[in-house]
Amino acid sequence: MTVISRPDETVVPMVSLRRSQRPVLVPDLPPTVDELLQRVARGDSPAFELLYDEIANSVFGVIRRVLHNPAQSEEVTQEVLIEVWRNATRFDPERGSATSWIHTMAHRRAIDRVRSAQASADRDQRVAMRDHVTPYDDVADQVETHLEHQQVRRCLDSLTELQRESVGLAYYGGHTYREVAELLDVPLGTVKTRLRDGLIRLRDCLGVTR
């Protein structure tokens, strides 16, 4: 019996094109995260390095935001980035962007860590998060250069207070919607709908389409 192996596409080299054959009018745009991830899926480790540089800061940032503890955040970030390498083959562009796939993985890992910490009765983190009602506070080493950051902040400001608090507590605080309801002292159904219409309003403000 033969072992099925995938055709090794990584050996088809772009560099085999002679310089003069390159289309002159096409500007040398850096590869997108989607393109990089698809190269990574074929075992291309130089592409992974480029991918790392594109996503490590946002992956670390969101994990740190949820977990607070720097050492733990670093550990989870490492796990997630290796997971990206391992599972790049399973990324399906039909289901969303590569960036969103990676951030979902990062956020879920952070959430899993919070929940298992809760389960093992480590309440410190949770107490720290209770103070964390507004989605934006001063994080000294936040990367402020992002236009993205400005835009998201502006769009968050367009939400109602309850929408903003719900989204912030759930996404940045790592709380379940049941916990959010308890923290804000509003009915469960209200939190469900505020999370949904809050994110819908954000989506429209940020011009996200898929």
Per CB under 8 A, which of residues 49..78 are in contact with other proteins?
49, 52, 56-62, 64-65, 74, 77-78
Of the pair 35, 83, the CB lying nearest other proteins is at: 83
In order of 62, 144, 199, 206, the CA distances from 148 in angstroms are: 14, 9, 16, 9
Query: Of residues 98-117, which lie at the interface with other proteins (CB under 8 A)?
Result: 99-100, 103-104, 106-108, 111-112
Residue 41: name the closest of 99, 90, 97, 5 by CA: 90
Candidates 4, 12, 15, 127: give the one binding other proteins (CB under 8 A): 4
Query: Of residues 114-173, which lie at the interface with other proteins (CB under 8 A)?
Result: 135, 139, 141-143, 146, 148-149, 152-153, 167, 170-172
In single-letter form, the type of residue at position 186 comes to: V
The span from the CA of 188 to the CA of 178, in Å, is 6
Q: Which stretch binds other proteins (CB under 8 A): 9-17, 19-27, 125-133, 184-192?
A: 184-192
Using the structure block, give the residue that is written with the tokens 């379940």: 176
Of the pair 71, 121, the CB lying nearest other proteins is at: 71
Structure tokens given for 109:
């890992």
Of the pair 17, 143, the CB lying nearest other proteins is at: 143
Residue 57: name the closest of 179, 178, 142, 147 by CA: 142
Candidates 29, 95, 120, 185: give the one binding other proteins (CB under 8 A): 95
Q: Which stretch binds other proteins (CB under 8 A): 2-10, 18-26, 122-130?
A: 2-10
Using the structure block, give the residue that is written with the tokens 């804000």: 184
| Contact pattern for other proteins over residues 191 through 210, marking x by CB under 8 A | xxxxxxxxxx-xx--x-xxx
Structure tokens given for 91:
């990324």
Residue 20 C-beta: closest distance to other proteins, Å: 34
Instruction: Evaluate whether 77 touches 60 at the Cβ level (below 8 Å).
Output: yes
Assign 95 to helix, strand or coil.
helix
